[in-house]
Amino acid sequence: RSSLFDWRVNTWTRTPDMNDPRWYNTTVALPNGRAWTVSGDGGSGTAERWDAASGWSRLTGINWNTVLAEPGYINRWHPFLLVAPDGRLIHFGPTDTMHWVSPDGSGSLLNTGTVVPGGHYPKEGSWVMYDEGRILVAGGGTSTNAAYTVDVRTGTPVITPVAAMTFKRQFANGVVLPNGEVMIIGGNTSGLKFNDTGSILTPEIWNPTTGQWRSMASADVPRNYH
């Protein structure tokens, strides 16, 4: 099932069903007013595009099973996807390999030739597009403090490791601040879901100009799992 939420009147309206059932899929708003979704239990190997006039269409040119086949990837997990400046979608994790995705026509999937740096596995980490075509990825699996940027303003993504956070964390949140800096808040070091064991109470802010982190006043209440 799928529905539209109208914030003006605070109501939901059913739209035509997707072709495949999905749980833990990722959905992206496209610049032309359409929406695109992929993965999730039930339809993990397929992608679909939504249009207000025609509903959902399965994109036969995208074989997402090539992504699911990557080592160590839990294939129902939310893939990392954002719209790049040229209108394509960039798939930048949590698999090691990154891909360009075209949401137009029947769709297409193309390996970018770039990979996640080192042994970083960003699943359960946080990521934000902090500037046009520039993404910060921080933390993740095995409770790491590693971070890197992905620059997708050209045809080939540029991956650049940045200074590590002071604290290792999984299940944290990343938020872009009005001045362009990024706050990473919450998370734990235990890697336990829905659990406050090993909670990190001290937020950190990353400065994209200096590439450095600074710690902020600690919270009183743990904030874990998104």
Which of 103, 106, 81 lies closest to 92 in space, CA to CA? 81
Instruction: Give the pLDDT confidence score for residue 223 in this predicted structure.
Output: 87
DSSP 108-172: EEEEEEEE--TT---TTSEEEEEETTEEEEE--TTT---EEEEE-SSSS-EEEEEPPPSS--BS-
Q: What is the pLDDT of residues 97-133, one digit of tens each?
A: 999 999 999 999 999 999 988 888 888 999 999 999 9
Beta bridge partners, 18, equal none
Which of 143, 150, 204, 148 lies closest to 174 in space, CA to CA? 204
Task: Determine the Cα–Cα distance for residues 26 and 34; give it in Å rounded to an integer.
Answer: 14
Residue 67 three-state SS: helix
Instruction: Give the pLDDT confidence score for residue 72 in this predicted structure.
Output: 67
Instruction: Give the pLDDT confidence score for residue 75 in this predicted structure.
Output: 63
Residues in the chain predicted with pLDDT less than 70, given as ranges, are: 72-75
DSSP 24-60: S-EEEE-TTS-EEEE-STTSTT-EEEEETTTEEEE-T
Predicted TM-score (pTM) of the model is: 0.93
Instruction: Give the pLDDT confidence score for residue 1 in this predicted structure.
Output: 92
